Amino acid sequence: MVRNLYNNLCNANTMNISIRPEQPADIDEIHELNTLVFGQENEARLVDQVRQSPHFIPELSLVAYSDNELIGYILFSQITITNGDYRHQSLGLTSMVVHPAWQKRGIGSKMIAAGLQKATALDYTDVFVFGHEHYFPKFGFVPAARWGIRPPFDAPAEVFMALELIPNALCNVSGIVEFPIEFSVM
């Protein structure tokens, strides 16, 4: 499913967009893009702190470029679902931004599809996101409450979603998502 979604999205638009893992030379631009899009530095600081943590997965920190211009960024990082002594390692879609001049052109969709394809190739089984209830379902995300999984704070069920990259990956999982300490900068 993820591979077909990626191929369809990449073929749907003929813009010269490339998506690749971030490189050290991208870090300042990623920080600037996060600050621009969010109008403050909290998201940029979160990305910087996750990048320095053991929860960072270099292959899942992706940039989107068009003609040598950074136009988007997406980051997936490790999270844990806990239930008593049980711990399930998972991924969270930590950050996603698209430059305002490039929004509404499918860049975010391409980055999500590329990230999900890469996560699957790296043998991750599921992904969680806090996101817009009408945007993320088109990628297969559904409310995580379906599996009895909830965030560590009150949030509307429809905005905390999960996607099984492998069928039934969350079949025997329930509990509370434990976010890394880096998320406290938000």
Rounded Cα gap, residues 65 and 25, in angstroms? 13
Closest C-alpha to 95, from 157, 31, 5: 31
Q: Which amino acid is at 128?
A: F
Give residue 76's domain range.
2-185
Asked if 162 and 67 count as a contact pair (C-beta separation under 8 A), the reply is no
| Higher-scoring residue by pLDDT: 122, 4 | 122
Summarised one tens digit per residue, pLDDT across range 1-60 is: 334 434 444 443 446 899 999 999 999 999 999 999 999 998 899 899 999 988 899 999
Instruction: Please state the rounded mean pLDDT for residues 109-126.
Output: 97
Q: Any idea which residue has 């711990």 for tokens?
A: 87
**pLDDT for 180:** 66
First to last CA, the chain: 33
Q: Any idea which residue has 């969270």 for tokens?
A: 92
Which residues, 6+ apart, have CB-to-CB distance to 19 below 8 Å?
Answer: 62, 63, 64, 65, 72, 110, 111, 114
Number of separate domains in the chain: 1
Percentage above 70 pLDDT, the chain: 88
Question: Quick count: other Cβ atoms within 10 Å of Cβ 30?
Answer: 22
42: helix, strand or coil: helix
- Its pTM stands at 0.87
CATH number of the domain residue 29 falls in? 3.40.630.30
Whether residue 102 has pLDDT greater than 60: yes
